[in-house]
Amino acid sequence: MIIATGDEVNMHIFLDTANIDQIRQAAKLGIISGVTTNPSLVSKEKATNYEATIKEICSIIHGPVSVEVIAEETQDMIKQARDIVTWAPNVVIKIPATVAGLEATSILSKEGIRVNFTLCFSLNQALLGARAGAAYVSPFVGRLDDIGDNGMQLVKDIVGVYEHYHLSTEVIAASIRHPQHCVEAAKAGAHIATVPYSVLIQMIQHPLTDIGVTRFLSDWKRISQK
Active site residues: 94
Helix, strand, coil percentages for the chain (3-state, nearest 5): 50, 20, 30
- What is the rounded CA–CA span in Å between residue 177 and residue 22? 17
Q: Is 60 left (phi over 0), alpha (psi -120 to 50) or beta?
A: alpha
Could you give the count of Cα atoms lying within 13 Å of 106 in the half-sphere of its Cβ? Answer: 11
Cβ contact 171:155 at 8 Å: yes
Identify the burial level of 7 via C-beta atoms within 10 angstroms of its C-beta, where 0-12 means exposed, 13-18 middle and 19 or more buried. exposed
Say how many C-beta atoms besides its own lie within 10 A of residue 63's C-beta.
15
Q: Which amino acid would we find at residue 147?
A: I
Cβ contact 159:180 at 8 Å: no
**Three-state DSSP state, 71:** coil
Helices then strands, each counted (H, E), the chain? 11, 10
Burial letters 81-92, b for 16+ CB under 10 A, else e: beebbebbebbb
